[in-house]
Structure 1
Amino acid sequence: MAKRDKGTLRAALAKHRARSQQRVDEKRKATVGQASKAASTVPSKKRTTMPFARDDSILLVGEGNFSFTLALLSPPHNHPPHQILATSYDTEADVYDKYPDARAIISQIRAKAGLHADRILAFDVDAGALHKCEAVTGSRKDDPRRWSKVWFGFPHVGAGHKDERRNVLANQLLLLRFLVSIAPYLTQGRAPMYVTGKTRRSSDDDDDEEDEEESPASAGDATDDLAEHTVWRPLSPPARQGSVLITIRNVPPYTLWNIPMLGKKLRSVFGPIAASAPPPPKGTFMPSLAQIDRAGTEYVVWRSFEFDPRMWKGYSHRRTVGFVDGLSTSNNEDLLRRPTPPSASKPQGRHVGTGECRTFELALR
């Protein structure tokens, strides 16, 4: 009887230990699970792509109020003013009429440009007829100026076509004319390291946030910044292959423009799109197929990445038609999917965002 009691006691003790160990294991698993869940809910730091290197020669086309130009010149970017040319389709007077903040912005640009103030801005420049602008091409036909980065931010003809198909065709024609026009003025040489130093993905327009420029634009020391402001310097393009950057909203109808396809199949689609699109304004330059062939206008897509306007302090997006009360916003709310500040008429503000904005980077094949 005593032996049986002793055995029963040992068995009960073993069961107690097993249950205790089980409770410890379950508690540990629960703790680990909660930690993993918490970690998964913490947003990972998003890597952004800086498309400009400090030595890039940068041409900006289709500028609105020139706030992107000012952001590029200002901290933290501080791009050298002698390496920038910013252009607008409008005359200078029209810019001031369409964008109330443009006059103050342009004054700041010219002040920052110093001795380069007279050549950093150009007006009345058609992005589809860049050969007509000496500020873009230079004065020597046998040795034109070259640009390593050309940015066309939020292109739009601004014609207000109600039919979506006509609207898409009109904007596709604008982009095709631009791609043909800029081809002779892109720098030549080896592609940058973020193109040659990685394995190409299966889709040309995949994300590439992890690719970074070899020498990103950054604030130089005080001596360099002073020299760039007070000492005249010539445009000095880098010896590497240039590219075109086109930024659009990544939602319909803009995605219907199909920028990668326009670059890759430019020659074959130019004729049909030009024939079907609404007629552009009278006097608009239209390249011939022979001119397209001479320019060797066939592009590949190097990468695409999200455009975050918060990277560009002071940048304020503007529509082609100008600042429109009730539609335009002051702090890029229409790009960032956030409400506008409350007002007397709209105490809660209004939600105007339209999703991600995306930059496609193309280069000649």
Structure 2
Amino acid sequence: MPRKKQKSGPAPRSHRPSGPAKPGPAPASQAKNKGSKPDHSASGTVKEGSQKKQALQANQRPIVPFLRGDRILLVGEGDFSFARSLAKQYKCRKLCATCYDSKETLFSKYPQAEQHIQEILDSSKPKPKSASEDAEEAKTSESNAQPTSTSPSTQKPTPKVLFSVDARKLGSPAGGGKEIRTGFPRKEPKIPAWKLHQQSQAQAQGQSSTPTVSSPPSGPWDVICFNFPHVGGLSTDVNRQVRANQELLVAFFKACVPLLSTAPAPVDEDEEWEEDSEEDSDSDEDGNEDGDGDAQTSGKAVRTGPGQILVSLFEGEPYTLWNIKDLARHAGLQVVTSFKFPWAEYEGYSHARTLGEVEGKDGGRGGWRGEDRLARMYVFEVKPEEPRGKKKKRAREGDSDSE
């Protein structure tokens, strides 16, 4: 019987070059492993490592790097939906949200911004009380003969919104001026009266040359955050775009350094933090002390480290071409960590494009959506000065990244 013709198809993968095999002695390595299956251990290891990395990312708790008591400066806000999330969802009261555009330009580009700003400003207002609560409060106030007054030092902090603030010139007249230079007062521990008396006696007797009550000079902000910085469509040339955004970030970093807070002095066992009434009332009303139980945030905890700069960028080119870590290093900063930006942890937040809202064919929101893209948030701190005579060690910053 004649042989059946075999169907033609792609040749199987082989480690040998294509073409007719020439007779001859096989190399020693091939002769030794003759009859054994091809070794795919290297590719298998890479695949296994990739699967482990994906599993780690899926199981990792999202990171929200804001504490409720932080003094937070937001730079380059678009429609203020991110600031709204911090104010309403995470109860951040010492919050100043700024944007580059004027008020009129902002509302024309992002019509929803006006509503978001109003919600931010109203977030610190007490909730309306019922008729029974009002009556009970009236009886209590009548029974108390002494009138109650609120001093400026005990007033509750409220969020602020500023327009026409240039991120490259923070603290200058074009960068928010005095509002940015002063910020919010720092929360200090309550020192017992007997300890203050001891310190004053020691200073009077000359036993203490430096005052121990006052805290070291510190900037007004614990966190300065710039989400998805971009100069806009100044040019279609990629190289020019990269350079323009690099210049923006370098100027921003340098402007931030004098505004960052230093690490607070360690608190003794006999010193206590004053109770923050507005934080406690927020927790009682909402029944949620930490803002979001699933997010990796410390809630009401007191910040013990120095102030930080946060910058969020999309992953991939052209953003990787900006080399943000090198830019920060030139400004005297160091990378503490970086992590996946948790879009879902900020309720109602949507990325606002620099050019404004793009209308779709159906009349809704058009164009690409930033919240559908992968992004990372980078955390920077001022690099501490190393002691003289000590050799400088360059840390491998990639090891500190949280995937």
TM-score, length-normalised on structure 2?
0.53
After superposition, the C-alpha distances for 1:68-105 in whole angstroms (9 at most, x for unaligned) are 00011123x222x2x11001111111110110111111
Counterpart of 1:113 in 2: which secondary structure?
coil
Answer yes or no: is the 8 Å Cα contact 2:358–2:367 preserved in 1. no
Counterpart of 2:369 in 1: which secondary structure?
helix
Equivalent of 1:221 in 255, 278, 283: 283
Letter aligned with residue 47 of structure 1: R
Answer yes or no: is the 8 Å Cα contact 1:148–1:240 preserved in 2. no
1:118 is displaced (CA, Å) by: 7.8
Equivalent of 2:341 in 307, 310, 314: 307
Letter aligned with residue 165 of structure 2: V
1:238 is displaced (CA, Å) by: 5.0
| Pair 1:67-2:78 in alignment | no
- Equivalent residue, structure 2, for 1:244: 309
1:335 is displaced (CA, Å) by: 3.0
Equivalent of 1:92 in 103, 109, 114: 103
Distance 2:55 2:249 in 1: 40
Distance 1:177 1:102 in 2: 27
Distance 2:261 2:249 in 1: 20
1:106 is displaced (CA, Å) by: 1.1
Corresponding pairs, count:
240
Letter aligned with residue 49 of structure 1: I
Equivalent of 1:358 in 376, 392, 399: 376
Residue 246 to residue 146, structure 1, CA distance change in 2 (3 Å): same
Residue 332 to residue 146, structure 1, CA distance change in 2 (3 Å): farther
After superposition, the C-alpha distances for 1:126-160 in whole angstroms (9 at most, x for unaligned) are 011012222110299x9775111111001001133
Equivalent of 2:230 in 156, 163, 186: 156
Distance 2:265 2:157 in 1: 31
Counterpart of 2:263 in 1: which secondary structure?
coil
Residue 42 to residue 224, structure 1, CA distance change in 2 (3 Å): closer
Answer yes or no: is the 8 Å Cα contact 2:350–2:371 preserved in 1. no
Q: Would you tell me which structure has more helix in proportion to its own residues?
A: 1
Distance 2:164 2:60 in 1: 38
Residue 96 to residue 120, structure 1, CA distance change in 2 (3 Å): same
Equivalent of 1:138 in 182, 187, 191: 182
| Pair 1:102-2:113 in alignment | yes
Superposed CA RMSD in Å reads: 3.7
Counterpart of 2:179 in 1: which secondary structure?
helix
Answer yes or no: is the 8 Å Cα contact 2:351–2:371 preserved in 1. no
Residue 162 to residue 112, structure 1, CA distance change in 2 (3 Å): same
- Equivalent residue, structure 2, for 1:255: 320
After superposition, the C-alpha distances for 1:36-85 in whole angstroms (9 at most, x for unaligned) are xxx9999943321121112211110000010000011123x222x2x110
Counterpart of 1:302 in 2: which secondary structure?
strand
Counterpart of 1:125 in 2: which secondary structure?
coil
- Equivalent residue, structure 1, for 2:221: 147
Residue 143 to residue 191, structure 1, CA distance change in 2 (3 Å): closer
The structure whose Rg is larger is: 2
Equivalent of 1:316 in 342, 345, 350: 350
Answer yes or no: is the 8 Å Cα contact 2:183–2:221 preserved in 1. no
Answer yes or no: is the 8 Å Cα contact 1:187–1:238 preserved in 2. no
1:330 is displaced (CA, Å) by: 5.1
Answer yes or no: is the 8 Å Cα contact 1:110–1:117 preserved in 2. no
Distance 1:332 1:189 in 2: 43
Distance 2:156 2:87 in 1: 12
Q: Percent identity?
A: 32
- Equivalent residue, structure 2, for 1:167: 241
Residue 317 to residue 164, structure 1, CA distance change in 2 (3 Å): same
Distance 2:303 2:367 in 1: 32
1:221 is displaced (CA, Å) by: 1.7
